[in-house]
Amino acid sequence: MTTNTKVLLKHRPNGDPAETDFEIIIDDVPVIEDGQILTRTIYLSLDPYMRGRMSDARSYAEPTQVGDVMTGGTVSVVEASKNDKFEEGDIVVTHTGWQVYAISDGKGVRKLHPNGIPISTGIGVLGMPGMTAYTGLKNIGKPKEGETLVVAAASGPVGSAVGQIAQINGSRAIGVAGSDEKCAYAVNELGFDACLNHKAKNFEDQLAAACPDGIDIYWENVAGRVLEAVIPQLNFFSRMPVCGLISQYSMTGPPIGENKLPSLMRAVLTNRTCIQGFIVTDFGKDFKSFISDMTQWVAEGKVKFKEHRIKGIENAPKGLLGLLKGDNFGKTIVEVSDDPTT
């Protein structure tokens, strides 16, 4: 008999999460009723925001409850349907979380039409990460010809797309990453103008040299040392879309050392810098243009992507912990079950 493997939140972590904060259980495959579909997860997306959902601190979304299935986006196949909008075999993007089988009423479920592009991109460059990059630049970053953009985590799913889209719009793209290998990928494969290893002793000097005309757009998704190095280089009327602070997600208190907030606020005032935090759903109105533009760019090779794959849903906890430490190289995806399109 087929069974359903689920990964639950067992404990709320204090500081860095551990594998013991998760629980793996084996359950029966659910039975659908009228109006529902049964989906089988093919690919599960692992993303930094999941650390926030493990906490019950105030946030933009409700936390995952202890004992519940971990939250997450998936590419799935419809195994059975009693919903007129879906047929058995449909490939869909869902948000059914860390489990092999799930029931849905179809709300918020999007059909995929691969057209030669891997279906895993539905949770990557043609999914939430790609749309985050697209809409954040379109509505906040607003790159222009000849401007300079700096983005951290440049080899990741959001950062890599940010840099490439900025270049499509005529801006210089300066990446920041956590290893020489990742930096080489950003320059040699993605076409970034430069990429700097933030672990280098003279990183601050390297950043200043790579941005001789200052920084017009800083895409913030990391914080910490990178932000501190960016502040002195900000130009007048610079823009800073903020979509993540991965270096601080597991902090249990204020950062150790000098308080850099006054220098940031002084730079914001002096440069009239616009800083705006956002989440991808803030710009849902742009979904159709995102799918149209990004699909074309991917097909034409103007936007490239890299996937960091993990086999087996039982390894999802270890995969998330590695992601939060920067061990991933590209979009982290869990291969949960067979892909019928390959």
Q: What is the mean pLDDT of the chain?
A: 93
Residue 169 — φ and ψ, nearest 5°?
Answer: -90, 5
Reduced to 3 states, what is the DSSP secondary structure of residue 183? helix
The span from the CA of 26 to the CA of 294, in Å, is: 38
Is 248's pLDDT higher than 90?
Answer: no
Number of domains in the chain: 2
Instruction: Give the model's confidence band at 1: pLDDT under 50 very low, under 70 low, under 90 confident, else very high.
Output: low
> Between 57 and 252, whose confidence is greater?
57
**What pLDDT is recorded for position 292?**
96
Is there a domain that residue 162 lies in? yes
Instruction: Note whether 110 and 176 are same-domain residues.
Output: no
The DSSP call for residue 220 is: B
Q: Is the model's pLDDT at 54 over the cut of 70?
A: yes
Percent of the chain residues past pLDDT 70, beyond the cut: 96
- Domain membership of residue 340 (yes or no) is no
Six-digit token string for 300: 């034409």
Residue 100 in this model has a pLDDT that exceeds 70: yes
Q: Indicate whether 202 pLDDT > 60.
A: yes
User: How far is the CA of 278 from the CAs of 37, 60, 140, in angstroms?
Assistant: 32, 10, 9
Between 266 and 218, name the one with better pLDDT. 218
Q: Is residue 35 part of a domain?
A: yes
Does 291 fall in a domain?
Answer: no
What phi-psi label fits residue 133: left (phi over 0), alpha (psi between -120 and 50 degrees) or beta?
Answer: alpha
pLDDT of res. 225: 86
| Pick from 16-20, 21-25, 259-263: least confident | 259-263
Look at residue 315 and tell me if it is in a domain.
yes
Can you give the pLDDT at residue 97?
97
- pLDDT band, very low/low/confident/very high, at 156 (cuts 50, 70, 90): very high
Q: Looking at the structure, tell me whether residues 224 and 256 fall in a common domain.
A: yes
Co-location of 157 and 209 in the same domain: yes
Domain final residue, candidates 244, 265, 281: 281
CA distance 62 to 45: 19
Question: What's the whole-number mean pLDDT along residues 314-338?
Answer: 95
More confident residue, 256 or 330: 330
Q: Examine the domain organization and report whether 167 and 98 are in the same domain.
A: no
The yes-or-no verdict on residue 65 having pLDDT over 70 is: yes
Examine the domain organization and report whether 187 and 225 are in the same domain.
yes
Whole-number pLDDT of residue 253: 57
Q: Which of 1-5, 133-137, 213-217, 310-314 has the lowest mean pLDDT?
A: 1-5
More confident residue, 224 or 48: 48
Which CATH number fits the domain that encloses residue 159? 3.40.50.720
Check residue 256 and give its pLDDT. Answer: 64
The values of phi and psi at residue 16, to 5°, are -65, 130
| Cβ contacts of 231 within 8 Å, gap of 6 or more | 260, 263, 264, 267
Indicate if 170 and 235 belong to the same structural domain.
Answer: yes
Within a domain: 288: no
Considering the domain architecture, whether residues 134 and 274 belong to the same structural domain is answered as yes
When mean pLDDT is compared across 60-74, 224-238, 259-273, 275-289, the lowest value belongs to: 259-273
Look at residue 54 and tell me if it is in a domain.
yes
Structural domain containing residue 7: 3-117+305-335
Question: Distance of alpha carbon 34 from its chain centroid, rounded?
Answer: 34
Q: Please give the pLDDT value at position 247.
A: 53
pLDDT surpassing 80 at residue 76: yes
What digits encode the pLDDT tens for the residues 161-183? Answer: 999 999 999 999 999 999 999 99
In a domain, 342, yes or no: no
| CATH number where 322 lies | 3.90.180.10
197 with 257, same domain: the answer is yes
Mean pLDDT on 98-111: 96
Among residues 312, 316, 308, which one has the least CA distance to residue 124? 308
pTM, full prediction:
0.91
Are 10 and 96 part of one and the same domain? yes
Q: Domain boundary residue among 248, 265, 281?
A: 281
Q: How far apart are the first and last CA of the chain?
A: 25
Q: Which residue has the tokens 């659908």?
A: 32
3-state helix, strand, coil in the chain (%, to 5): 35, 25, 40
pLDDT at 270 over 60: yes
Q: What is the mean pLDDT of residues 193-197?
A: 98
